Structure 1
């Protein structure tokens, strides 16, 4: 994880108080000089399968979608529901995150190129006042980005961070034509982090969510509830001549992804409270290696005590 200060981090206030679950004295608060540079934790999840399914956009219609690469919950398919996900298993490092994550598959010619190691899904604060972020409500789902986006819409989308990158090539708004051999193709893209407080889904699977105001980093009045800002950071083992590399949904600017929340609620709440509200840069256990005195949100088995 990068230690570079972001504009959001520099502007953030100092930590006031947080009570970690493991590794500190009960009731201990962060020190006044504990500068906040991050407010996040990770979900590290691996590929489970590739299917032409989309349980959010095309529920109950197997084979009706372009090919998607699925991470996390191994039961995800066109028929997935909140209940079926909770009954499934996950390969995410935190075993009580049974959420479903997916995105359009990447091809090199006719061959699918899957990520070949656990991928990083960040849960961050998207607002300035990170102490106000609350966990996702059970069952919420949404789509981030659009397969129908133009290149300019992708470039200017509030969820775009660096676009596509490989080696020293960054800020590409389509898949680069060439990547240094041995490098990887990467994409970073942020999700909206303001919820309307009512709907777990909407007709377009987007309208119940909104991005914070770019200037103030405050949620709009129409979507007043600040939830974690998900940021996909995906890496694909493909390089060299990229002329045949494409998304199953089309050009690189058709990148998008989907999320169905199936976290164990107390586990997610502990990570949000300790890491996001607490101003830490946490791994999937809720531990900040740069601030070991702050402890961890979860136990050695990446779970809350039962």
Structure 2
């Protein structure tokens, strides 16, 4: 696929001014709170607060890529480019939304007429081109894309209910996350007060907000036991030591989802393992990429969105695509620990991972997609066996560090190293039994544990100060549930078989 040379729309000056003002006063996002309030609040009465809450906070669009469960091989390159174009269109529409608050206040129809309707027209054209890509190679045009062009405006309250801590009874789509469940019922203590400006919050004006955080000491224990191991369980582990990205290997590409497209992720990733991964990498370049892992046969790529501290400071990418231009601001934090471990199945032996297997766990778009594919786990050292959060970030007590953990899909269809929507070729085992269903085979389960030393955020009058958050698509509002992790299996010297054999024989290997 050729390089995408189309230039993105530059952000409007108001975002840069607000960010620099926040830097100047160390406001950590308070400037943006005041900016939004000024557009629709003249006093602190309940009526004006209610009006502020009703303002459109973000844009919700159907995820076209998730509907494409099968794409002809000779159409894949064009389809991937078109899917990346859809993400770019949403990013540009969100930038327009965030920079036109006064116009929205003056005209109740502005969002629909000036933002959502043109966006629908653009998406209709892209979806039409995707259908043509199918028919050009002799395949039937997918009917699953019909009706996916229209997007809606979502208020701050609606976005919080969709992917924030105020949504009780959430699930992770039947996924087996090591027996862990998120807690969605603890947000009342962190909810914004009625007098606080109803806005998206955060240093760049697109989150997080106070309700995205919770004092972990006030959350009831929610971690459930793992499935009991059977007689045929694979009880071993294999740990690979690949560092914490201290050499700052970053980019905003995503070679799995948007190959050949610069800034296809619209947010910054940390990379460990393979050192030459970007949008234009191929299976061949992976083999030539070198590795940060101590085991030089492990050329796999392990990458995840960076975590930033939103304390009013900026980092190297404050004026770059995927960085400050798209609302990903603040100081990039490097983990103090990064553990990568492969574990076995409680129900069976495992087969070796195939070369170049791709797995994405979690969903970067839960704020608009909902939580069906969420697989984020946030906790604190000393609490990991008791509390795991998906829809809120933890505020850890003094002496305790923030922990992100991931448990990847551990069942493989036995045939494909990827799928059109990057999900259907792998699956989670049954959470109760650990058994892989539908003819899938158990593979070593990749688990990751990232530890960050972060000063606890402070909640005052419905506003969070010194917040931290993961990078994400700008319209996703930096919700914790959007956390996700990416993996490409690349090994040499028979390492894939060694990992499987180690696990199957009950050894603890490195």
2:411 is aligned with 1:194: yes
Q: Would the aligned equivalents of 1:151 and 1:174 in 2 still touch at CA under 8 Å? A: no
**Alignment-derived partner of residue 165 in structure 1:** 379
1:126 to 339, 345, 348: 345
Quote the RMSD (CA, aligned, Å): 2.5
2:504 is aligned with 1:277: yes
SS at match of 1:205: coil
**Alignment-derived partner of residue 257 in structure 2:** 57
**Alignment-derived partner of residue 39 in structure 1:** 236
Q: Would the aligned equivalents of 2:412 and 2:442 in 1 still touch at CA under 8 Å? A: yes
Indicate how the Cα distance of structure 1 residues 159 and 245 shifts in structure 2: closer, same or farther if over 3 A, else same. closer
Q: Would the aligned equivalents of 2:229 and 2:346 in 1 still touch at CA under 8 Å? A: no
Q: Would the aligned equivalents of 1:182 and 1:239 in 2 still touch at CA under 8 Å? A: no
**Alignment-derived partner of residue 160 in structure 2:** none
1:248 deviation in Å?
0.5
Within 1, Cα distance between the matches of 2:408 and 2:500?
16
Q: Would the aligned equivalents of 1:213 and 1:219 in 2 still touch at CA under 8 Å? A: yes
Within 2, Cα distance between the matches of 1:173 and 1:240?
18
**Residues 131-179 of structure 1: CA deviation (Å, up to 9, x unaligned):** 3x0111111112111012259965x86956xx21124453222453522
Correspondence list, 1:75-224, <5 A? 75-109=276-310, 110-117=330-337, 119-129=338-348, 131=349, 133-149=350-366, 163-169=377-383, 170-176=387-393, 178-222=395-439, 224=440
1:39 deviation in Å?
2.0
Q: Would the aligned equivalents of 1:73 and 1:90 in 2 still touch at CA under 8 Å? A: yes
1:232 deviation in Å?
1.4
2:443 is aligned with 1:227: yes
**Residues 7-32 of structure 1: CA deviation (Å, up to 9, x unaligned):** 44x533389xxxxxxxxxxxxxxxxx
Indicate how the Cα distance of structure 1 residues 127 and 202 shifts in structure 2: closer, same or farther if over 3 A, else same. farther
Query: Aligned residue pairs: how many?
Result: 248
Q: Would the aligned equivalents of 2:406 and 2:485 in 1 still touch at CA under 8 Å? A: no
| Length-normalised TM-score, structure 1 | 0.73
Q: Would the aligned equivalents of 1:127 and 1:226 in 2 still touch at CA under 8 Å? A: no
2:470 to 238, 241, 247: 247
Q: Would the aligned equivalents of 2:374 and 2:482 in 1 still touch at CA under 8 Å? A: no
Indicate how the Cα distance of structure 1 residues 88 and 203 shifts in structure 2: closer, same or farther if over 3 A, else same. same
Q: Would the aligned equivalents of 1:147 and 1:254 in 2 still touch at CA under 8 Å? A: yes
Indicate how the Cα distance of structure 1 residues 228 and 245 shifts in structure 2: closer, same or farther if over 3 A, else same. same
Within 1, Cα distance between the matches of 2:401 and 2:373?
23
| Length-normalised TM-score, structure 2 | 0.45
Within 2, Cα distance between the matches of 1:187 and 1:74?
22
Indicate how the Cα distance of structure 1 residues 198 and 246 shifts in structure 2: closer, same or farther if over 3 A, else same. same
Q: Higher helix fraction: Structure 1 or Structure 2?
A: 2
**Alignment-derived partner of residue 176 in structure 2:** none
Unaligned 5+ segments in structure 2 are 1-224, 311-329, 459-463, 473-477
Q: Which has the higher contact order (CA 8 A, sep 6+)?
A: 1
Q: Would the aligned equivalents of 2:380 and 2:394 in 1 still touch at CA under 8 Å? A: no
Q: Would the aligned equivalents of 2:352 and 2:500 in 1 still touch at CA under 8 Å? A: yes
1:260 to 488, 492, 495: 488
Within 1, Cα distance between the matches of 2:336 and 2:374?
28
Q: Higher strand fraction: Structure 1 or Structure 2?
A: 1
Q: Would the aligned equivalents of 2:298 and 2:492 in 1 still touch at CA under 8 Å? A: yes
